[in-house]
C-alpha cells in the first residue's frame, strides 16, 4: 500500500496537473527521491542542492510538520497522507490575506502543542487560499 501525496497548485506543472499522487516510500527522503523518478524536476523545487528541504517548503505527514518530527528521516507507513505546502507570507485579514500567526512580542520556548497548532493554522490557511478542502 502507498502513501497519498497532496501537491500544491504551483508544483502541478511538474506533476502533469495532478493534485494527488500515490507513492511507496519508507521515509520522507525516500518519497522525495521516488517522486523525482516519476516527476523529474520536483526535487529541485523542494530541496536545496545539498538535499535539505528548502526553507519555504513545509511538508506534513498526517498533519504534523516534519520539522518537528524527524525531518526527512520521518518514517512513512501505508495510508499516510503527505502534504507539500509552500510557505505563505504577507497580507492582512481585512484584505483576504493570511492573518499573522505570531501575535505579541514575547519570545520564549515553544511547546510541541503550540508548534502543532501553528502548523495546522498554516495548513488550513493554505488550503483555504488555494481552495483545497479535506474530504470527510
Average pLDDT of the residues in 12-33: 95
Edge-to-edge strands of the sheet including 81-86? 20-23, 3-6, 81-86, 57-61, 64-65
From 5-14, 49-58, 84-93, the region with the lowest mean pLDDT? 84-93
Average pLDDT of the residues in 24-41: 96
Question: How large a percentage of the chain has pLDDT more than 90?
Answer: 57
Of the candidate CATH numbers 3.10.180.10, 3.40.50.300, 1.20.1250.20, 3.10.20.30, the domain formed by 3-130 belongs to 3.10.20.30
Q: Are 81 and 6 in contact (CB under 8 A)?
A: yes
Whether residue 98 has pLDDT greater than 70: no
Whether residue 18 has pLDDT greater than 90: yes
For position 121, what pLDDT does the model report? 78
Domain ranges of the chain: 3-130
For position 106, what pLDDT does the model report? 40
135: left (phi over 0), alpha (psi -120 to 50) or beta: beta
**Cell 497532496 identifies what position?**
6
Amino acid at each position: 500500500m502507498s502513501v497519498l501525496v497532496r501537491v500544491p497548485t504551483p508544483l502541478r506543472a511538474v506533476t502533469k496537473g495532478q493534485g494527488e499522487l500515490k507513492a511507496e516510500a519508507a521515509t520522507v527522503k525516500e518519497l522525495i527521491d521516488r517522486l523525482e523518478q516519476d516527476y523529474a524536476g520536483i526535487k529541485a523545487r523542494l530541496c536545496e542542492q545539498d538535499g535539505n528541504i528548502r526553507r519555504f517548503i513545509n511538508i506534513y505527514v498526517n498533519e504534523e510538520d516534519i520539522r518537528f518530527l524527524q525531518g526527512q528521516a520521518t518514517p512513512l507507513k501505508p495510508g499516510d497522507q503527505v502534504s507539500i505546502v509552500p510557505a505563505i507570507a504577507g497580507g492582512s485579514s481585512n484584505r483576504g490575506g493570511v492573518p499573522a500567526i505570531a501575535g505579541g512580542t514575547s519570545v520564549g520556548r515553544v511547546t510541541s502543542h503550540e508548534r502543532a497548532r501553528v502548523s495546522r493554522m498554516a495548513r488550513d490557511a493554505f488550503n483555504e487560499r488555494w481552495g483545497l478542502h479535506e474530504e470527510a
